[in-house]
Amino acid sequence: MTNNWRVVIGLTCCLLTAPGATWGAVAFDRSMAPVHLSSAGRARRPLLGTDELDRLRDVLAGTDQTAILAAIQALGDGGAGNAAPLLVEVLAVGAPVPVTVAAIDALKKLRDPTSVEVLALYAGNRGPEIRRHAVEALGIFADGRVVPVLMDRLGDAVVEVRGAAAQALATRGEKTATPRMLALLRRNDAAVAGPLGALAPISLLSEISELRGGIADDNLATTLGELLKRRDVPESGRMEIVKALSGIPGPAATTALIEYVGMLPPQDRRASRSEAQRSVDERAKQP
């Protein structure tokens, strides 16, 4: 990326605004792990020919938004090793929100580390939807440069953006984010409930459980439920979590207990599974 592009991006990253929204507590998504794609890996990808590059560049520079969106989708889905620069160009000159979001999502599909810089800039865009998509895209990179950006977005004013940053940091296993997420949970922030449970060390279990009564039951149950799913939690810890969840009313706690029972084989005889099943059965009897 040239210095001129950096200046243009810096100027265009502050174009759009949109209202925020409220969230309920959300679970941690384990489906996306960060990756590092080396230059050798990019080189092994098929490349777009010069004529096709020129054709797509012309389309992207045009005014037909439908054609532009189709071209962006084709670049993202095609996975060509030289596709990312075309999408970076789109972001460099600025575009309407649908086009900007589509270009960011296409760069996420390509997983080309050369796009980290422009995505980091767009993570600070004035438009919440754009920020969220940029943060989600950054979350797939193993590149250490994304960590300060994600940490910064934990302080975003919009819950969806905070949630995307928390999810990305938890997926990376970024333990340095734990204190910040715990502080947010103490403030009853639903955005970090699931990611914190996936990230926090087991030593924080008692501290998290003690939040009962100080934050929403569903937020606490979501955090404990994610802790309960982890393989590194010993049986004693699982029993402690199950007992804590059994004392929390509401659908989030019930869901956490059901998911724990379901993740273990029926023949599993560990005490925590039996206790969770007992609690689920008791809840089923309640009117």
Q: Tell me what pLDDT residue 59 has.
A: 97
4-32 burial: b if 16+ Cβ within 10 Å, else e: ebeeebeebbeebeeeeeeeebbbbeeee
Q: Tell me what pLDDT residue 64 has.
A: 96
**Which mean pLDDT values do the consecutive 10-residue runs of the chain (287 residues) have?**
39 35 53 52 75 95 96 95 95 95 97 95 97 97 95 97 97 95 97 97 95 97 97 95 96 97 93 96 90
Q: Tell me what pLDDT residue 7 has.
A: 33
Q: Tell me what pLDDT residue 76 has.
A: 96
- The Cα–Cα gap between 103 and 125 comes to 14
In the chain, domain spans: 1-177, 201-287
- The Cα–Cα gap between 163 and 190 comes to 8
Q: Tell me what pLDDT residue 286 has.
A: 86
SS3 44: coil
Q: Tell me what pLDDT residue 132 has.
A: 98
SS3 161: helix
- pTM of the predicted model over 0.85: no
Interval 14-61: pLDDT, tens: 333 333 333 466 565 655 555 545 554 555 678 999 999 999 999 999
Look up tokens 């059994």; give the residue: 246
List Cβ neighbours of 39 (8 Å cut-off, separation of 6 or more): none
Q: Domain 1-177, what fold?
A: Leucine-rich Repeat Variant (1.25.10)
Q: Tell me what pLDDT residue 45 has.
A: 74
